[in-house]
Structure 1
Amino acid sequence: MKNLVCTALVAATALVGAEASATNYSLWIHGRNGNSTQAGNYNDFSYWGSSSTAAGVNKKAVNWNGTQRISVENYRVRDALDCYCTGANWCYVAVHSAGNLQIGYALSLYGSSARTKKNAVPNASGVCGNLDGTTQTGWNIKWVDVASGAGGGSELANLGDWATSEPLTSDLVTSTARGMYNHNVTTSKWFYMFAGAKGTVYAGALPGQDDEAVAYHSTGGVSVTGGFCNPGDLFCDGTLNTGTTATSNGKAKWSFHTVSLRDDGEAYNHYANGAWAGIVGPVRSDMVTYAQ
């Protein structure tokens, strides 16, 4: 599917002479991070790993205070989308963990709003200047790659296993995350889900397969919570199927959500570790291949 999307977009751009100067960008939106990155600095990749590592065309780090509520910090994501994904420019988006909530929130609540076209030249706060004073509806986004997405929340937040002093923890409670916005509304942008399954000793707190922090019901984009697993695993509610197919017990995925990677080998945990590690690794590889 992704090959077809890219081919169609390239062909469409080639047919429009006025779009010849268009620039593509790869935006990386991090998750919970203890506010360790510099908000507004699109070159600070410290959450992910070395900034010299290939991670898609014209990569930009979308940094926000990863301890605060999604609604409070979402303006920084919208600033980045306005900067790089309006006018003649297009974006590929990669997100990790709570970054899934950030892009989902932006698209669902603001993706059909009027956006002033920007010039892709940010100031120190990460805000770009106006291009020509005109507006457009929503953003030019080709698709979204999701590494261990927390769009469905985590039972670790339900149980208070994360620092309760962080406002973001409240947003990661499964009922809160799922009720924050309509996850089926993505303005027709596809979310490619990469679900890790290298759990650990406390995985019992998470239902079904997990990556130490988030369970398959969330990382697989399933529309309800539950214990979903790899094929052949016992004591699960059902198998998380790849693609857009519902789980084996009939639980549907959100609209425009498809599972690109189900971690059958249980090889990928949740954490980037500042080294493009864990489930972020295969997402980075996918961006290198397709975000061009």
Structure 2
Amino acid sequence: MKMLIGAAVTAATLLVGTEAAATNYTLWIHGKNGNTTKAGNYADFSYWGPSTTAAGVNKKAVNWNGTQRIGTENYRIRNALDCFCTGTNWCYVAAHSAGDLQIGYALSMYGGSTRQVKNAVPNANGECGNVGTSTQTGWNIKWVDVASGAGGGSELADHGDWAVSDPLVSDLVTTTARAMYNHNTTRNVWFYMFAGSKGTAYSGILPGQDDEAVAYHSTGGVSGSGNGSYCNPGDWFCGGTLNTGTAACSDGRAKWSFHTVSLRDDGESYNHYANGNWGGIVSKVREDVATYAY
């Protein structure tokens, strides 16, 4: 599907006027952290791993204060989208954990708004200059890859198992995350979900299969106002199976619109953490992006 989408978008782009050369970018939106990256610095990949690693065409690190609430910091994500995903430029987006909430929030809340076309030349604050008075509605995004998405929140926030008082934790409470915005409103942008299941430390808190931080109900983009217990096929101790693709879970619970499970970790091989070396479930998203974001 991704190759077909990419070809269609490329063909459409070629039909746009010749006022500027079209450029594709890959935006990487990190999750919860200790505010260890420089917000607005699109070259700082320290959250992910070596910046020399292949991770999509013209890759940019969309850094934000990963201790603060989604609504407070979302302007950083919108700055990046304005910079690199307007005019004749198009973007691929990769997100990890709470980065899923950031891109979902931006698209749902602001994806239908009028945006100033920017020149893709950022200043020190991550803001780009205007291209005349040109505007457009929303952003030019081909698709979103999500590693261990926290769009549905995490029970670790529900139960206070993150021993920090960061404001972001309150947004990661499952009921809060699911009510924060309309997750079905993606502006027709597909979210490809990569769900890891190498979880052990919090198996008694996180329902169903998990990657030590987020459970399948969230990483699989499962809809609804509450969480659920979902596992790999054949696991008898769950409420249902997380099916791949766009299919509903085995108990009938649907995924959010334009969400599809690209990878369900049947081998329980991938945990939540990039560990500064493109590790865990992030490794599979990086491979996918390196192949299809060109």
Query: Which of the five TM-score ranges fits, normalised by the shorter chain?
Result: over 0.9
Q: Give the AA of the match of 1:26.
A: T
Q: Look up the match of 1:168.
A: 168
Equivalent-residue separation in structure 2 for 1:148 and 1:77 (angstroms): 19
- 1:244 equivalenced with 2:266 (yes/no): no
Q: Look up the match of 2:96.
A: 96
- 1:274 equivalenced with 2:276 (yes/no): yes
Q: Give the AA of the match of 2:175.
A: S
Equivalent-residue separation in structure 2 for 1:165 and 1:240 (angstroms): 32
Shift of 1:237: 0.7
What stretches of structure 1 move > 6 A for 4+ residues in a row?
none
Shift of 1:23: 0.3
Secondary structure of the residue aligned to 2:204 is: helix
Shift of 1:6: 1.1
After superposition, residues 177-216 of structure 1 pair within 5 angstroms as 177-216=177-216
Contact 2:16 2:88 in 1 (8 A): no
Q: Give the AA of the match of 1:117.
A: V
Shift of 1:3: 1.6
2:256 paired residue among 254, 257, 271: 254
After superposition, residues 36-115 of structure 1 pair within 5 angstroms as 36-115=36-115
Q: Look up the match of 2:234.
A: 232
Q: Give the AA of the match of 1:172.
A: L
Q: Give the AA of the match of 1:249.
A: D
Q: Give the AA of the match of 1:202.
A: Y
Shift of 1:11: 2.3
Q: Give the AA of the match of 1:30.
A: H
Q: Give the AA of the match of 1:42.
A: Y
Structural RMSD (CA): 1.0
Q: Give the AA of the match of 1:136.
A: Q
Contact 1:14 1:20 in 2 (8 A): no
Q: Which piece of structure 1 moves more, 252-261 or 163-172?
A: 163-172
Q: Give the AA of the match of 1:69.
A: R
Contact 1:13 1:19 in 2 (8 A): no
Q: Give the AA of the match of 2:235.
A: D
Contact 1:85 1:140 in 2 (8 A): yes
Q: Give the AA of the match of 1:83.
A: C
Equivalent-residue separation in structure 2 for 1:244 and 1:92 (angstroms): 20
Shift of 1:20: 6.9
Contact 1:221 1:254 in 2 (8 A): yes
After superposition, residues 80-159 of structure 1 pair within 5 angstroms as 80-159=80-159
Equivalent-residue separation in structure 2 for 1:279 and 1:161 (angstroms): 21
Equivalent-residue separation in structure 1 for 2:173 and 2:246 (angstroms): 25
Equivalent-residue separation in structure 1 for 2:15 and 2:108 (angstroms): 30
Equivalent-residue separation in structure 2 for 1:134 and 1:21 (angstroms): 16
TM-score relative to the length of structure 2 = 0.98
Structure 2: give runs of 5+ residues left out of the alignment. Answer: none
Secondary structure of the residue aligned to 1:247 is: coil
Shift of 1:14: 3.2
Contact 1:85 1:139 in 2 (8 A): yes
Cα 1:19–1:156 shift into 2, 3 Å:
farther
Equivalent-residue separation in structure 1 for 2:66 and 2:164 (angstroms): 14
Contact 1:148 1:214 in 2 (8 A): yes
Q: Deviations over 1:131-181 (max 9, x none)?
A: 121110000000000000000000000000013410000000000000000
Q: Deviations over 1:42-84 (max 9, x none)?
A: 0000000000001000000000000000000000000000000
Equivalent-residue separation in structure 2 for 1:17 and 1:121 (angstroms): 21
Q: Look up the match of 2:5.
A: 5
Shift of 1:13: 2.6
Contact 2:13 2:88 in 1 (8 A): no
Q: Give the AA of the match of 1:7.
A: A
Q: Give the AA of the match of 1:290.
A: Y
Secondary structure of the residue aligned to 2:25 is: strand
The aligned length equals 292
Structure 1: give runs of 5+ residues left out of the alignment. Answer: none
Equivalent-residue separation in structure 2 for 1:107 and 1:13 (angstroms): 21
Secondary structure of the residue aligned to 1:18 is: coil
Shift of 1:184: 0.3
Equivalent-residue separation in structure 1 for 2:149 and 2:262 (angstroms): 12
Q: Give the AA of the match of 1:226.
A: G
Equivalent-residue separation in structure 2 for 1:128 and 1:12 (angstroms): 25
Secondary structure of the residue aligned to 1:22 is: coil
Shift of 1:8: 1.2
Q: Which piece of structure 1 moves more, 155-164 or 47-56?
A: 155-164
